[in-house]
Structure 1
Amino acid sequence: MQKLSPFKKLGLSVLIASCFLTPSPRTFAKNVRPPLMLANPYHPGVRLADYWVSEKYDGVRGYWDGQALWTRGGEPVHAPAWFTANWPKTAMDGELWVAHEQFEQAVSTVRQQTPDDAAWRRMHFMVFDVPAYPGTFDERIRVLKDLIHKLAKPWVVYVTQTKVSDQKSLDSMLAQVIKLGGEGLALHRGDSYYRGVRSDDLLKIKPHTDAEAKIIAIIPGKGKYHGMMGALLVETEDGQRFRIGSGFNDKDRHSPPVIGSWVTYRYRGMTARAIPRHATFMRIRKDVAQR
């Protein structure tokens, strides 16, 4: 292989930096999901030394493409002009978050077509990645920390990344986050590149396991639920279908979610057929576009 001269190496470095600092054309439109890195559930056997650990914030996933702010489902976020003023011309991936145990407030604020200025004053953009930077996560977090420091907006926050030495330390960190009202932890593999897929490069750990699925049918109730919804028939992203029949209140059963919407459900392990065991309804996922 021919070696590059120092001048050619310098030119290549400048080219890479210019690609990172210049916004690339948006490759998705409304209701088309941006190419986000998605998390798998944490599982035993993970080599913790390979990962950075941070709090997993329970808000609305936000993707800044260098020009505009989008939800995970590809919906435009109508934030006040001051909120995104002077943001960098490169992509940032994060969570639009109000505070612990304020998920519904975050969703309500983000979904408004006309921004509520007072509500947005409570919002934070918790940034944990820079998707356009062509380096590993070890490298990206250094770039991100510097980027957020230079931006100097108190509502744009660098998500602190730490290392844990063993499972006991991870469990202790999780317990502390839960005690404060947090949702769980996220683990980023240090040597991974940003890819818009679901993989073990990003893991999530919570006191329980939850996931999302799309409603494809409403199953009528029987007995005491006659005339109401009995269960939801749902389908996961990988095509697995199953019923969710618990976790609903009477209001949910009288006015069930619409077909095509997405829900978050909780479960306890998987059956031999890879079906979530004891699936329980948690909430409608309003920040995910119907598709």
Structure 2
Amino acid sequence: MSKNITNSMSLPREWTKEIDPTGWWITEKYDGIRAYWDGHSLYTKKGIKIPLDEHFTSHFPSGIVLDGELWCGYNSLVKMQAILTKILKSTNQVCLEADKVQYKIFDAPSLDGSYSQRIHKLRQQMNPNSVASVVDILECTGEAHLMQALEQIEKKGGEGLVIRDPKSFYEKGRTNSLLKVKSYKDTEVTMIEISPNSYAYLCLQCGLNQKSDLLHFVGRTENHVL
């Protein structure tokens, strides 16, 4: 089952030094699988429904649309991708808690108000648990503070940061009120060799035909490993 989710999501632009981050809210950019909770079911960014066991989703606030990331630790993106592939292929429910999978929530699109108001309302309706949690937030005091926070996250193995205008409303598509901050830039590459399992997974996520000889997608190029 698939659903048109991408058009409902807020997508970041790149932060540049011409933009003063003072007063913006800093959150970690988790290197996992973007996942959108419509109040009843969880979907990938490409709109593929993720069948989860009820115990896992019971930790989600009822009836609230959530935007977040499925994450299982630092330097574990490949592991998270493998877990998702297992879930999508399995005929039985998969226990995500055994793999220490967490749902890191960074917004609640269905709640009214600015970002700061949405987060405040969301925290009031969240019960502390080990599965679903609202991301930690810092108020940025300037560029030096932003760079210091980025360095700390990268030392832990994190991907980078996201900064948000706390006064902004939830916008669909690319927005100037949501900016990603990383030491490297994403770029388009052409993949010419890939293992069958990974290829099947990427085709599934990107909505591509597995018979294609080449696969274009956005990936990291810092070590030329994707």
Query: Could you tell me which amino acid in structure 2 is paired with residue 32 of structure 1?
Result: N
Mapped partners of 2:28, 2:141: distance in 1: 16
| 1:130 to 1:261, Cα distance in 2 relative to 1, 3 A | farther
What aligned pairs does 1:17-56 form with structure 2 within 5 A after superposition? 30-34=2-6, 35-56=8-29
Q: Deviations over 1:205-256 (max 9, x none)?
A: 1110015x5xxxxxxxxxxxxxxxxxxxxxxxxxxxxxx46x86xx549999
Q: Select which of 43, 64, 67 maps to 2:37.
A: 64
Task: Provide closer, same or farther for how the CA distance between residues 140 and 119 of structure 1 changes in structure 2, counting only shifts above 3 A.
Answer: closer
2:162 matches 1:186:
yes
Q: 2:141 is matched with which residue?
A: 165
Structure with max Cα Rg: 1
Q: Aligned AA for 1:107?
A: Q
Kept in 2, the 8 Å contact 1:263–1:282? The answer is no
Out of 208, 219, 222, the residue aligned to residue 265 of structure 1 is 219
Match of 2:76 among 102, 117, 138: 102
Q: Look up the match of 1:128.
A: 106
**Residues 1-291 of structure 1 correspond to what in structure 2 (within 5 A)?**
30-34=2-6, 35-85=8-58, 87=60, 88-111=62-85, 112-113=87-88, 114=90, 115-117=93-95, 121-148=99-126, 151-211=127-187, 244=189, 251-252=193-194, 258=210, 259=212, 263-266=217-220, 282-283=225-226
Task: State the match for 1:286 in structure 2.
Answer: none
Where do 4+ consecutive residues of structure 1 move more than 6 Å?
253-256
Question: In structure 2, how many angstroms separate the alpha carbons of the residues matched to 1:164 and 1:84?
Answer: 32
Distance 1:254 1:132 in 2: 39
Per-residue deviation, 1:47 = 2.4
Greater RCO, 1 or 2 (C-alpha within 8 Å, sep 6+): 2
- Residue correspondences, number: 208
CA distance in 2, matches of 1:94, 1:255: 25
Aligned to 1:241: none
Deviations 1:62-109 (A, max 9, x none): 111101011111001122221002631110111000000000111121
Q: Structure 2 unaligned segments of length 5 or more: list them.
A: 200-209
CA deviation digits over 1:138-161, x for unaligned, max 9?
A: 21111122222xx33221111011
Call closer, same or farther: CA 1:170–1:116 in 2, change over 3 Å: same
Q: Deviations for 1:106-150, whole angstroms, at most 9, x for unmatched residues?
A: 1121232224326654100001111011210121111122222xx
TM-score under structure 2 normalisation?
0.81
CA RMSD of aligned residues (A): 2.7
Partners in 2 of 1:253 and 1:92 — Cα distance? 33
Identity percentage of aligned residues: 23
Show structure 1 runs of 5+ residues with no match: 1-28, 214-243, 269-279, 284-291
